[in-house]
Structures are given as structure tokens and as C-alpha cells.
Amino acid sequence: MKIGFIGLGNMGGPMAANLAKAGHELRGFDLAAPCPEGVHSATSAAEAVAGADVVITMLPNGEILRAVADQIIPAMAEGAVLCDCSTVDVESARAVACQAQQAGLGALDAPVSGGVGGASAGTLTFMVGGSDAAFAKVLPLFEVMGQKAVHCGTAGAGQAAKICNNMILGATMAVTCEAFALADKLGLDRARMFDVVSTSSGYSWSMNAYCPAPGVGPQSPADNDYKPGFAAELMLKDLRLSQQAAEAVDAATPIGARATALYAEFVEQQGGNGRDFSALLPHFAARGREPS
């Protein structure tokens, strides 16, 4: 397929490289990042997308996505599909999909989980919103860049799935970290705590696959001095998107709101920026109970 790829940063770069390696014809554009090997460099976003069957965007946020969409939609060939893989607010995802459809294009929102490691290894999970026809057209590309693509529903459903998942993840990691800090103060050994919880009803991905306690459970960023991994500021971005969406539809998310406030404080005031999101454990362990 002829593919235009806009946004070749930490995630987009390796995703584009994998598509080129699989034999697709790629033209890429980024304001700053270089094109990876095998990807032809275009001089503008519009040039990158002209004549492409599928255009993939991997950009920082919804505002930038909207600005890029304004540039590329008029330059895309009729019937082509615009597939945005960035994590953005549901409203921007729906607005861009609507704009694309009005121009005779297909549109998908297809945010990913799996991080930079998954992007390089081609093992991402795609959560996809949009029409059956657009999904079917892009599926072979999802299969190159990832190991799983779930068609979640119509426009915006992929972003909805992503922020619900990450709201669960942020809240679960926070409570897992505070439980370890409580266990410490109760004199309970961390390894014994892991043995019990990982096989009991408190188990979760945060505990079992990404244990925040160093030297306990499988290898995780905790064993590498909490270098990300999944950076706390990226978790904060996703939590804020969950709260923005919850406000827009009047959904009660008290625990999600508390997790958002916690990560905001950690990232913006307490040195969490640039650390893995599981670094809440040493943070809690070093503090006592705060006045409620």
C-alpha cells in the first residue's frame, strides 16, 4: 500500500519503519524528527499524503491533530483512509473523523497500548473506532505494527476504550503502591505481600506484570530505578483525557478524579516528571499519612 505517515517521534518512527520493512511504500513528514530508514521524506504534510491509500498520524495531542487534519484532508485522494493512532480527546477524534467523511474519506481513531517497546517490536494493541470498511482496509497494517486490533465501535470508540483502560491502570497502580507502603509500615515483607496478592483477589496487571516494588515479581521499571517504562507524565495526560471525557458526558468517576489529582501533584510538584508511573511507591513509602 501507499502510506503517508505524519509524526515520526518515539512511537511513529518505529511504527513507520516496521511498515516500510514489510514492503509498503511510505512517505513521511515530521516537523522535527528524521524519517526512519526505508521511509521517503516529504517536504510537507500535504506532500506526504498525496496519492496515499492510507494516511497514519501519530501526534502529541488533539489540538495538533486538528491542525494537521486541516492541512492533509484536502490533499488526500478520494476514498483514502485517515487513521489517527495518537492518544487524543474523544471530541477531537470525532471532529476529525467527521471532517474526513465530509471530504469523501474513511476515518479511524486507533490509539495504541504497548509503548515504545511495543512500537519497535510490532506488538502494539490497537483500539479502533470507525466504519467496518475503513477498519478492514487498515487491518493488514495494524497486523504489521501490532499483535491485536479490536474494532470497538464508531468514531471515538477507540479513544474511549483507551482512556477507560488507562483510568483503570492509573487508579490500580496508585492503590497497589499505597498498599505496599502500608504493608511496609505493618512489617509485612514485600515478597510475601506479592506472593499473596498476585494469587488472590487483589491481583491486577499492576501487581502481577509490572510490580512497583524492586526485586519483587517480574522485571519491571522498579528494577531499573523507576526509569520509564510508562512515564508518569504520560499517565497524567491519559488520566486528564479521561476526566475531560467524563465531564463532557456527566459520568461519575470519583476514583479516576482522585488518581488524576495524585499524578498531577506527583508530576508537577513532587519530582515525578520523567520517572515511571510506578514510582508512586517510593513516593508514598517516604511519606506519612496526610491530613484529610
32 is a site residue for ligand NAD (CB under 6 A): yes
Task: Select from 18, 20, 72, 86 the one that contacts ligand NAD (CB under 6 A).
Answer: 86
Q: Is 45 in the site for ligand NAD (CB under 6 A)?
A: yes
Return the range that interacts with ligand NAD (CB under 6 A); candidates 3-11, 19-27, 209-217, 272-280: 3-11
Shortest reach from residue 12's CB to ligand NAD, in Å = 5
Give how many residues touch ligand NAD by CB under 6 A: 26
d(CA 161, CA 178): 26
Q: 106 and 133 in contact (C-beta within 8 Å)?
A: yes
Nearer Cβ to ligand NAD (47/223)? 47
Could you tell me which stretch among 57-65, 205-213, 215-223, 283-291 binds ligand NAD (CB under 6 A)? 57-65
Contact window for ligand NAD (CB under 6 A) among 19-27, 30-38, 95-103, 145-153 = 30-38
Question: 117 vs 140, which CB is nearer to ligand NAD?
Answer: 117
> Shortest distance, CB of residue 217 to ligand NAD, whole angstroms?
21
Position 199 contacts ligand NAD (CB under 6 A): no
Among 3, 14, 30, 97, binds ligand NAD (CB under 6 A): 30
Residue nearest to ligand NAD (CB): 9
**Could you tell me which of 43, 85, 42 has the C-alpha nearest to residue 65?**
85
* Selected range binding ligand NAD among 101-109, 110-118, 181-189, 259-267, rule: CB under 6 A: 110-118
Contacts of residue 205, Cβ cutoff 8 Å, sequence gap at least 6: 169, 172
Nearest to 274 by CA among 227, 210, 223: 227
Kindly identify the residues of this chain, within the stretch 211-250, that bind ligand NAD according to CB under 6 A. Answer: 234, 237
**Contacting positions for ligand NAD (CB under 6 A):** 6-12, 29-33, 45, 58-60, 64, 67-68, 86-87, 112, 115-116, 234, 237
